[in-house]
Amino acid sequence: MSDPMVFATLLGLLLVLLAAGMWVAVSLLIVAFVAIVAFSPAPVGLVLATTLWGHSHSWPLAALPLFILMGEILLRSRLSEDMFSGLAPWLGRAPGRLLHVNILGCAIFAAVSGSSAATAATIGRMSVPELTRRKYPESLIIGTLAGSATLGLLIPPSIILIVYGVATEQSIARLFIAGILPGLMLVTLFAGYVMARAMINPGLIPHEDARPSLGEKLAASRRLIPVILLIAGVIGSIYTGVASPTDAAALGVLLSTILAASSGSFGWQKAREALMSATRTSVMISFILLAAAFLTIAMGFTGIPRNLAAWIGTFNLSPFELLAALTVFFIVLGCFLDGISVVVLTTSIILPMVQAEGIDPLWFGIYLVLVVEMAQITPPVGFNLFVIQGLTGINILRIAAHALPFFMLLLLGVVIITVFPAIVTVLPGLMGR
């Protein structure tokens, strides 16, 4: 059987298992098992044992449960309320007014949680009722929340960048730094869109009567100090080289616990809930990563990735044509799988093709996260859409329609970093290798 036929057979098996409701990790294990038994002479039991044992001893992977726990702690604290109170007085006069609280609030929370779903849930729980009460348009309330919450996947510390770094053996610290400028670029695009809508149609945004003085603004800003210190402690320690991402994650858990406890809103019951939720999420992701590692090794034994990359090379696609095709592929795949599953399912096959075209794997990681961000707001399996539906009770298709302009802005972001790759690579270049 030819390599394209073998690949099609294994892909068909994977799709059948996923469509049947099988767990992603179990589906990956079954496909890897079949690949080795049917298409390789390698001893499947020995390969499985050595792969699972070897990949379960990854020190960089230890950052994953710690960052997840940090996000869970902050999710149960008063941090989001403090952010709203600290940001709102400064944004009441800007075109779009308090809608920018959604965008900046999500950007700030993304920088301390690393999770898109946690960002949507935390900021949405605070902003949606308040903006609705003030009669802001539903389309922009939901759209800014859905779009900006995806920043949790990109702005460091990003859980999905840790997954990509572990799966591809890239430096997690350099990936984190590479995500900073693209994250700020997206914040600028989202804020610019809201401002443009407000200026084109002034009646769209309700008037804010309150005009706080400079002293009142500065007083409110004091509520932002804890989160700024947390961001500086986590990201600053990585950027300066003082701590590895895993060390910084441990520091983040410590600082977030202190912040939450000092707010008076975080007791033993919430601590237990945060720990259990973080444990469930971490185990799920780790199970998927281990299964994906087994699939990667299995695919290596079959020779499919190498031969498939050579086969695609016969089409003589330029790097831009390859990226355009991959963008469509990832968007379609993201309609049915969550972001982490997309990353671990595809990297072993896609990365050889990408490297053969001379594309920097570090840059490709940020590109991949941007495309996965788009999948977070596309039905039927857009996680952010589900989170917002749970908060608001609005039909998921209506939420997706409100998020469509921000989907297009994310697509524009992909185009921008493709045309100007230095947006991704300049800061990691300053760090050195």
d(CA 209, CA 211): 6
Instruction: Please check the confidence at residue 262 and state whether its pLDDT lies above 70.
Output: yes
DSSP 214-272: HHHHHHHHGGGHHHHHHHHHHHHHHHTTSS-HHHHHHHHHHHHHHHHHHTT---HHHHH
Q: What percent of the chain has pLDDT over 90?
A: 14
* Distance separating alpha carbons of residues 424 and 183, to the nearest angstrom: 10
Of 332, 240, 266, residue with least CA distance to 81: 266
Q: 319-334 and 396-419 are packed helices; what angle lies between their axes, rounded to 10 degrees?
A: 160
Write down the pLDDT at residue 380: 62
pLDDT, tens only, 143-202:
999 888 888 778 877 888 888 888 888 888 899 889 989 999 999 999 999 999 988 888
224, with CB counted inside 10 A (0-12, 13-18, 19+), is middle
Distance CA 218, CA 231 (A): 20
Residue 5: its H or E element: helix 3-19
Residue 375, pLDDT score? 78
Helix (H, G, I), strand (E, B) or coil at 169: coil
pLDDT band, residue 423 (cuts 50/70/90):
very high
pLDDT in tens, 295-353: 777 877 777 666 666 666 677 778 888 888 888 888 877 766 667 777 877 787 788 88
pLDDT digits (tens, 9 = 90+) for 357-370: 888 999 999 999 99
3-class state of residue 22 by DSSP: coil
- Round to whole Å and give the CA distance between 374 and 332: 10
Considering the entire predicted model, what is its pTM? 0.76
Of 216 and 395, more confident:
395
Average pLDDT over residues 202-231: 76
Domain count along the chain: 1
Residue 39: CB atoms within 10 A of its CB come to: 20
Place of tokens 């890897």: 32
The pLDDT confidence band at residue 142, using thresholds 50, 70 and 90, is: very high
Range of the domain at 201: 3-431
Q: What is the dihedral sign for C-alpha 294, 18, 64, 356? A: positive
- Of 100, 1, 19, the C-alpha closest to 336 is 19
CA 67 to chain centre: 13
Q: How many Cβ atoms are within 10 Å of 27's Cβ, its own excluded?
A: 24
Q: Is the pLDDT of residue 1 over 60?
A: no
Phi (first) and psi of residue 75, to 5 degrees? -60, -30
pLDDT higher than 60, residue 388: yes
Residue 52 has pLDDT above 60, yes or no: yes
| Other Cβ atoms within 10 Å of 230 Cβ, number | 22
Q: Tell me the C-alpha distance between 353 and 305, whole Å.
A: 8
The alpha carbons of the chain give a radius of gyration, in whole angstroms, of 22
Contacts of 216 (CB under 8 A, 6+ apart): 89
d(CA 137, CA 128): 11
Cα–Cα distances (Å) from 137 to 104, 142, 403, in that order, read: 18, 9, 13
How deeply is 214 buried, as exposed, middle or buried, from its count of CB atoms within 10 A (0-12, 13-18, 19+)? exposed
Q: Which of 10-19, 276-285, 375-384 has the lowest mean pLDDT?
A: 375-384
240/430 Cα distance (integer angstroms): 11
Is the per-residue pLDDT at 91 higher than 90?
no
Per-residue b or e along 119-157, where b marks 16 or more CB atoms closer than 10 Å to that residue's CB: bbbbbbebbbeebeeeebbbbbbbbbbbbbbbbbbbbbb
